[in-house]
Amino acid sequence: MSNLNKAKTALGLILWIVCWADLFYSFWERSQNIFQAPFFLVSPTVLGITMLLATFLIQYERIKGVQSSGVMTIFWLISLLCAIVVFRSKIIDALNTDAFRYATFCIYFVLLFVQLILCCFPERPPLFSETVNDPNPCPEFSASFLSRITFWWITGLMVQGYRRPLEAKDLWSLNKEDKSEEIVPGLARNWAKEWAKTKRQPLNMLYSPKKQQKSSSSNGDVTEEAEALIIKPSQKSSEASLFKVLYKTFGPYFLMSFLFKAAHDLLMFAGPEILKLLINFVNNKDAPNWQGYFYTGLLFVCACLQTLILHQYFHICFVTGMRLKTAIVGVIYRKALVITNSARKTSTVGEIVNLMSVDAQRFMDLATYINMIWSAPLQVILALYLLWQNLGPSVLAGVAVMILLVPINAVMAMKTKTYQVAQMKSKDNRIKLMNEILNGIKVLKLYAWELAFREKVLEIRQKELKVLKKSAYLAAMATFTWVCAPFLVALSTFAVYVTIDKTNVLDAQKAFVSLALFNILRFPLNMLPMVISSIVEASVSLKRLRVFLSHEELDPDSIIRGPITEAEGCIIVKNATFSWSKNDPPSLNSINFTVPEGSLVAVVGQVGCGKSSLLSALLGEMDKKEGYVVVKGSVAYVPQQAWVQNATLEDNVIFGREMNESRYKRVIEACALLPDIEILPSGDKTEIGEKGVNLSGGQKQRVSLARAVYCNADVYLFDDPLSAVDAHVGKHIFEKVIGPKGILKNKTRVLVTHAINYLPQMDTILVMSDGEISEMGSYQELLKQDGAFAEFLRTYANAEQSMENSDTNSPSGKEGKPVENGALVNEAPGKLMHRQLSNSSTYSRDTGKTQHQSSTAELQKPLAEKNSWKLTEADTAKTGRVKATVYWDYMKAIGLFISFLSIFLFMCNHIASLASNYWLSLWTDDPVINGTQQYTNVRLGVYGALGISQGIAVFGYSMVVSIGGIFASRHLHLNLLHNVLRSPMSFFERTPSGNLVNRFSKEIDTIDSTIPPIIKMFMGSTFNVIGACIIILLATPIAAVIIPPLGLVYLFVQRFYVATSRQLKRLESVSRSPVYSHFNETLLGVSVIRAFEEQNRFIKQNDVKVDENQKAYYPSIVANRWLAVRLEYVGNCIVLFAALFAVIARNKLSAGLVGLSVSYSLQITAYLNWLVRMSSELETNIVAVERVKEYAEMEKEAEWSIEQTAPASTWPTEGKVEFRGYGLRYREDLDLVLKNINVTINGGEKIGIVGRTGAGKSSLTLGLFRINEAAEGEIIIDGINIAKIGLHDLRFKITIIPQDPILFSGSLRMNLDPFDQHSDEDIWRSLELAHLKNFVSSLPDKLNHECAEGGENLSVGQRQLVCLARALLRKSKILVLDEATAAVDLETDKLIQSTIKSQFEECTVLTIAHRLNTIMDYTRVLVLDRGEVVECGSPDHLLQEKGIFYSMAKDSGLV
């Protein structure tokens, strides 16, 4: 028991004694025959018992561990308030009371006061509560009751956020009941119960009575259920209701909000009623002053209570919403780990991620709105009732106007939705095109096609802006109705009221109380349509979620996983039949085999015969129809498509096991990962991008293999891991890992393979065909049988032979990346680095990213620098305030005239609105003569006119702001697009395309559709607040003393809040993406996770990631509440002072002015709230303008065309290229890649450029096209220095056939000739020469055939030929071939070579060759090494010199 608690208890007991002292005193008086009223007996008795109860409650709460009790605080507060009244009368009446009672009462009063103060301090947590070892616990629980209802406990965080930007480590940990591990299991349990119920119910509803009697004897209630089913076989019963489950899980906590909401709604109507009393008080000059002060106080207390209750309500709603989201995400994640593969096919990865993001979000939003369903009608009914009391039947006119406006709003909402869909469609098209442009930017630059694509993007953008314009007009209409509705309602009501009957007098009380009520009405009427649409959306989401959660799950018992015993074998399958889902035909029939422990089994067969399915069946991924399957011991699995996590390479291999250095090293070495680790920037600590973007296919496969080997399981299932790696790497892996001498020689291994050369070393071979095992035995046995296996061998052996041959010509084998040479021909690590960056040269984006590492100097860097290496520049989040220049930029983008016009129209609107209300107050003060007012019609007319002018101004500014917004977004998008296209190639290599696409989608979307409405609301609320202040000042000028200080408080609170909330928002969005990417990753690797039985670790990871996100979200909810409570108090003070000054100056004021100023001040709280909301929204969204502007300041490449130096249109006539002392580097801080190159190439010469990987062959072409500018020296073509002319002038005149053929989505014709310069005949001729004519003629759309994104619907060879056709069409004097024939089979290769020979006979051709046989008949060959020309001459001449060229030819088997 703490001292505080002891004090409270002691005081409680003393209070009880004091009360009963009074009681005993009364008894004593009776004995003295002084008979007092019975009150003196009853009152102390009751009070004493109450105090005793309170004392017990204090103890009870201590035992329960309550740290601060709301009940007690409220109890002491009310007791004290009651006592104050008595105290006042006691003091006034001091002389005539008896001394004893006076003394006891004083003691009682003081003790109450002390108790109240003690109650405000929180107790320390009870000793028996579990110790919280939380580094940063949330202060909410140790806060006192007062601190909780005013959200004072978050102030510490706000102060911290104001001093410096918050970081993730400053955030508190979540409360226990908000954590995933608390919430998710609850929902999962309830859902499982509900789901089991529906599954239990038999589907066929036919029962024989016998069965029923049986069941009734065993279990009473089943019969009733059964009978019910027979009577009414309704569909409903067979679907589990997710809503019921959610209600069960979250209902009890959420029900509290009902009470709060109801209390708040009732208090809301107290304002207008007290206003009525106040106006009566001002009108009635005889009323005593205290009445006025009492009403003022009451108004203030009501407003404050309303504030506190409303924000408790919101807090509950938001916390429920947050928990809902946590629960739904968790449940979806857990479900995704157990659904069958057939169910996986029905919902794509994207859809499931959407369930997590979009649908969970909808529930969150709904949680805050759902109470409006009953609260809005309640508010409307109450308001109408009070209005009817005030104005009688003329209210109906106003109501009619409101009801008329509802369908208008609904129609507009529908229209807006259709426009939105249309806009989304254009936006998707635009983003798709942008994506392609950014992925193929290299090709665009080489062909100088930027302008053509810019036009295409702008064309789509034009459509988008058209739709935007339409929706802007609609938005203007909507704003018009929303702003004018209250006015129209008031106008129609007052007009009807005044004109029905001459004796109806519009006095201040009627007018302003009605206005206040109309303002209250406006909110529910506008909310209802929103709530309904929100509910409809949530119900759709509910259905989608229910469908997903009801998918069938894998049966964990279909495969018996047991410990190893020395019985018949390690894997036993008897008569098993499997299918992919319950309703599919079986894909594996009657499978029988046993695998003894420690043996090596190969599974072979044609493509699609069910080899991989067999492994899936052993893992339990398929649906077992019949049979018996046992897998003993733990399992490791290597899938065909390697699955790599976005983590360090080491984490990928260890995969949640303990780290064991020696074992790890052995595994890495056996899987041939050492050379790769040396190449990676930070060794095995290098982070691997999502889906393993920075590894090649073979590296991913080897990482996946290393993961399996490291985990030291008993049974290994390999799904063709050797297909993705080079032949010699495969051999190394087989020997060191899988084979009879490998690390795993004592384990049971099942290997699916196509590689025949390993088969003789197998213990057993299973031959599969069409889902059955056709033969089985050792290699020798199967050969003797001469069945399907022997035939399989023959077909494959031939293929292998031809593969071996083709390998000799191309140094890189099957895989295009020499990084694969895991057991690389012992070169020094320095050279190894060069190799990796090689032959996929710099044309591919992937290697482009590592291009900068290509100098040897970089390899010698100290480790410290190595570790800091990151893939790309991360997208940076700005911190701190947004600069004023950004707003100015936006205004300039709109156009200054329009900006100032809109501000002027805003002013007009608000002046009109103030004037009309002021006019109303003058009208209500008109003297009443003979029961009527004079000039009624004039007053009404002017009132109407002012209102209409207000409406016109509203419409005007709405239109102007919306149109201005469209101008701005057009201008900003155009600039962004132009600047990005003008950026040099190095920019695209540094910036991930995701960041750029984000700028084009997210930021531009914000500028299009979020900023203009926010600006409207921001301006609106600003002027509303200013207007209200002006009215209050007009009525009571003395308020000028109070408004500025309150304004300062307001500004201070607002700045305070914005700093913190901005940063919390950033932290929240930064921590959100890991949730989705982790989920994506899990879905892709779900079979691996299940095979390794790592589900629980992944579920934990997901929970941690969700909690991290909610950790930032929770403070931001509370920060919003904190702000709102503070601001509403500022607003409540304004109400207090407006009323107070009106009471003080009541003799000088007319009732009309009092009504006006108080009814305005009642609205001010709402406006202040909006104002802060909007200003912080504006600040978070205007950042988009800043980020779009960012790219305008980037470095640009040289001008596209320069008038003065543009060469003649016929240039180059001869095609002579001279390199004079040429040198090139990729970046300022790197070494030269090419140095001191002096070569003259005469017109029409055919030059081959060869050299080891990384010798600078591709760099030469980059220099020729000025993708990189020269570091020294110059290149001269036909006497013109290319550095002096515009880039397009240069690039249009040289043609390149790049290494990876990139096509864009669009027609084939567009891909050949985007500028429409050539006729159809020309195009067909070029297609004929490129050997594509037959193919294109056979297409239904011929030249208009739509190419898919990246040309996916053409084969690689065909794409290469399309690139050739492009070159033939441009027919320029200089042609550069960058090993254009790497992807083409030998036959097509010959065709291309012959075409080039015949068609480009008089042109200069530079070929970067990888296959030397293509350049043996060229005029000259340049051999590059380390960026210098080492040999130059005709091929025969160089072969005789026995230099580098000779050795290369020897390697290729040409000599």
1313 vs 1130: CA distance, rounded Å: 67
- DSSP-derived pairing of the beta strands 635-638 and 715-719: parallel
What's the pLDDT at 398? 83
pTM listed for this prediction: 0.74
717 and 638 Cβ atoms separated by less than 8 Å:
yes
What's the pLDDT at 830? 34
What's the pLDDT at 1380? 53
What's the pLDDT at 814? 36
- What digits encode the pLDDT tens for the residues 72-83? 888 888 888 888
Identify the residue whose tokens are 């997208």: 875
173 and 135 Cβ atoms separated by less than 8 Å:
yes
Query: Of 590-599, 793-802, 1247-1256, which one has max mean pLDDT?
Result: 590-599
Q: Tell me the backbone φ, ψ of residue 591, rounded to 5 degrees.
A: -90, 130
Please tell me whether residue 1339 adopts helix, strand or coil conformation: coil
504 vs 395: CA distance, rounded Å: 13
30 vs 142: CA distance, rounded Å: 50
The 8-class DSSP code of residue 816 comes to S
What's the pLDDT at 1097? 92
Give the pLDDT band of residue 804 (cuts 50, 70, 90): very low
What's the pLDDT at 854? 32
> Considering only CA atoms, which of 1037, 1139, 1159, 1165 is closest in space to residue 508?
1159
What's the pLDDT at 1064? 86
Where helices occur in 688-778 by DSSP H, the ranges are 697-710, 727-733
What's the pLDDT at 870? 45
Based on the number of CB atoms within 10 Å of its own CB, is 415 exposed (0-12), middle (13-18) or buried (19 or more)? middle
The token pair at 1071 is 């921590």
Give the pLDDT band of residue 9 (cuts 50, 70, 90): confident
> Considering only CA atoms, which of 690, 726, 731 is closest in space to residue 1077?
690
1314 vs 1033: CA distance, rounded Å: 67
Planar angle of CA 897, 903, 909, nearest 5 degrees: 130
The token pair at 1132 is 């409540």
Where helices occur in 337-449 by DSSP H, the ranges are 341-346, 349-354, 360-369, 372-391, 395-439, 441-447
- What digits encode the pLDDT tens for the residues 942-999? 988 988 898 888 888 888 888 888 888 888 888 888 888 888 887 877 776 777 777 7
Q: Indicate the range of 156-170, 524-538, 763-777, 1021-1035 predicted with least confidence.
A: 524-538
615 and 764 Cβ atoms separated by less than 8 Å:
no
Rg of the chain taking only CA atoms, in angstroms? 41
Does 681 sit behind a cis peptide bond, omega within 30 degrees of 0 on the bond before it?
no
- What digits encode the pLDDT tens for the residues 714-730? 899 998 887 767 667 78
Where helices occur in 862-935 by DSSP H, the ranges are 863-867, 884-894, 896-924
- What digits encode the pLDDT tens for the residues 454-498? 888 899 899 889 998 888 888 888 878 777 777 888 888 888 888
Planar angle of CA 652, 718, 348, nearest 5 degrees: 65
Q: Indicate the range of 183-197, 339-353, 811-825, 991-1005 predicted with least confidence.
A: 811-825
Q: What is the mean pLDDT of the chain?
A: 79
The 8-class DSSP code of residue 1245 comes to -
In the chain, the percentage of residues whose pLDDT exceeds 90 is 5
The token pair at 1293 is 């005149």
What's the pLDDT at 263? 92
Residue 1383 has pLDDT above 60, yes or no: no
235 vs 1029: CA distance, rounded Å: 61
101 vs 680: CA distance, rounded Å: 90
For the chain, count helices (H), then strands (E): 52, 24
718 vs 751: CA distance, rounded Å: 5
What's the pLDDT at 843? 31
What's the pLDDT at 811? 37
What's the pLDDT at 200? 67
Residues ≥6 apart with Cβ < 8 Å to 1416: 1435, 1454
The mean pLDDT of 1213-1222, rounded to a whole number, is 85
Planar angle of CA 419, 424, 426, nearest 5 degrees: 100
Cβ atoms < 10 Å from Cβ of 703: 24
Residue 672 has pLDDT above 50, yes or no: yes
Q: Which amino acid is at 598?
A: G
The token pair at 412 is 């507009």
892 vs 876: CA distance, rounded Å: 26
Residue 839 has pLDDT above 50, yes or no: no
Residue 543 has pLDDT above 70, yes or no: yes
Q: Which amino acid is at 410?
A: A
The 8-class DSSP code of residue 1297 comes to E
Query: Of 1012-1021, 1200-1209, 1309-1318, which one has max mean pLDDT?
Result: 1012-1021
- What digits encode the pLDDT tens for the residues 251-291? 888 888 899 999 999 998 888 888 888 888 888 888 888 88
Count CA within 13 A, CB hemisphere, residue 211.
8
Count CA within 13 A, CB hemisphere, residue 1001.
18
Residue 1050 has pLDDT above 80, yes or no: yes
300 and 1135 Cβ atoms separated by less than 8 Å:
yes
> Considering only CA atoms, which of 234, 93, 174, 147 is closest in space to residue 1109?
174
E strand or H helix at 957, and its extent?
A: helix 936-982
689 vs 993: CA distance, rounded Å: 14
Virtual torsion, Cα 1135, 1141, 1143, 1147, nearest 10 deg: -140
1130 and 1167 Cβ atoms separated by less than 8 Å:
no
What's the pLDDT at 806? 40
The 8-class DSSP code of residue 1003 comes to I
Count CA within 13 A, CB hemisphere, residue 589.
9
What's the pLDDT at 835? 32
Residue 390 has pLDDT above 70, yes or no: yes
795 vs 807: CA distance, rounded Å: 19
> Considering only CA atoms, which of 492, 582, 1426, 508 is closest in space to residue 917?
508
Give the residues across from 1020 on adjacent strands. Answer: none
